[in-house]
Amino acid sequence: MAGALWPALLEPAAHGMDELCAVSAEGVRVRFLDGRELLCGTSGLWNANLGYGNKAIALASSAALHDASYLSVFRFENTYARQAAENLIQAAGAGNFGRVVFSTSGGAANDLVMKLARHYQALRGYGTRKLVVGLRDSYHGLTFGGFALTGENLGQSVYAVDQRLVRHVRPNEAEEIRRLTERQGQQIAAVVVEPVLGTGAVPLTPAYVRTLLELRARHGFLLVADEVATGFGRTGSFFASQLWPAPPDLLITSKGLTNGTSAAAAVLVSQPVAAAFDAAGEVFFHGETQAGTPVTCAAILATLAEMRRLDAVASAQRLSARLDEALADLVATHPRVIGTTGAGCFRSIRLCTPTGELLPQHEVPRVVAAIRRAGAIVHPSVQGVQILPALTYTADELAELLDCVRAGLDAPAGVGSGAVGTMQAGAL
């Protein structure tokens, strides 16, 4: 029977089920109220990149709560936020970025970015630049601004989300965005892209990134890298956009920012964009009560330190190479697997039915539930499932995850059906 809690993106029939109620987590295992312990194949919601229960991050957060409790960056500064901003800029590249604006979630940070881009264009004398362009099948959160920018159909019309100043183009289709900028280039404030698109785990091609950089130079819009999911080593470099020929103007980071321990996000602002506000003496009107607090910034600092201590980016690269081999073997040997997408430790496994057709989206929850019953947590993807292992996975843990995927795919059609299988694709 459902209790007082209304969980996110879970059908009402599954509310109150003990097998979906987590009790604790350690390393890469999650324990549930029904007594089962499952291997986490999703790094939480793509955010516990270093696994659960990292002691250094927990101790740093605890110390900040004892020493500073609550301090804000709303009409004030605090030393924790100053240090976290400096360390983030060093991690991302001090040659480009100059300032950091703290937020509390990826969705809120996308709202922030849309405001910042329009304000920046107004400071440059281009007050008519109001359009923000995103990609179809992208995910930028469920706040009203981020929801408008999200390119998946997740019910925006039901909630009367205002998308009049948002345009969407297909990813990796250079001619489509070229045509849009030819028609409306002087109205575009920013183009916001995920280096690897959310639910479907579709990487932007190098050629498409070059097109975006070329169009930015020609039309003057800001290029934003939404690295909420791809940051902190997830795709093989600290930030995925560090491999672009030129950096973005704004970079959003959130999920791995505190290893999933705090509600935190940050927008890294390039030096030229920050300089426009400084030169005008202009106040940027954005503030969030819990943004940049001591506990969140202590967690950020500790996460950055643990990334260095564990050499997590190199670990992710090694794990990615093992994933390449394991997924290639899965495609070659399992009749239900037709391919994989993604980059680094951010992957999607595309599936077909026993008769060879692409797996209908309404069948995905059953597969997710069957893999769960086999012992591992995965999330829905487009016509398949996502796997996003922690960067600290061992070879044995990776083999266990793939064994659970195989077992779930081999389960009889009725196994895994029911309420446990009702988690929706697009839930991230």
What are the extents of the domains in the chain? 12-40+311-422, 55-309
* Options 3.40.640.10, 3.40.50.300, 3.20.20.80, 3.40.50.10330; CATH of 55-309: 3.40.640.10
| pLDDT class of 94 with cuts at 50, 70, 90 | confident
Percentage of the chain with pLDDT > 90?
Answer: 93
Calpha distance 364→382 (Å, rounded)? 8
Residue 413 has a pLDDT of 66
* Secondary structure E strands in 285-356: 337-343, 346-351
pLDDT exceeds 80 at position 409:
yes
Question: What pTM value is reported for the model?
Answer: 0.95
Percent of all residues in the chain with a pLDDT value above 70, rounded to a whole number? 96
DSSP 135-199: ETT----SSHHHHHH--S-SSTTTTT---TTEEEE-TT-HHHHHHHHHHHGGGEEEEEE-SEETT
Identify the weakest region by mean pLDDT among 43-57, 126-140, 276-290, 414-428: 414-428
- Given a cut of 70, whether residue 386 has pLDDT beyond it is yes
pLDDT at 419 over 80: no
Examine the pLDDT at 13 and tell me if it is beyond 60.
yes
* pLDDT grade for 217, boundaries at 50, 70 and 90: very high
pLDDT at 162: 96
CATH code that applies to domain 12-40+311-422: 3.90.1150.10
12-40+311-422 against 55-309: fold identical: no
Instruction: For 111-121, give one letter per residue: b (16+ CB within 10 A) or e.
Output: bbbbebbbbbb
Could you give the angle at which helices 294-309 and 312-333 cross, rounded to 10 degrees? Answer: 70
Mean pLDDT, rounded, for 355-363: 94
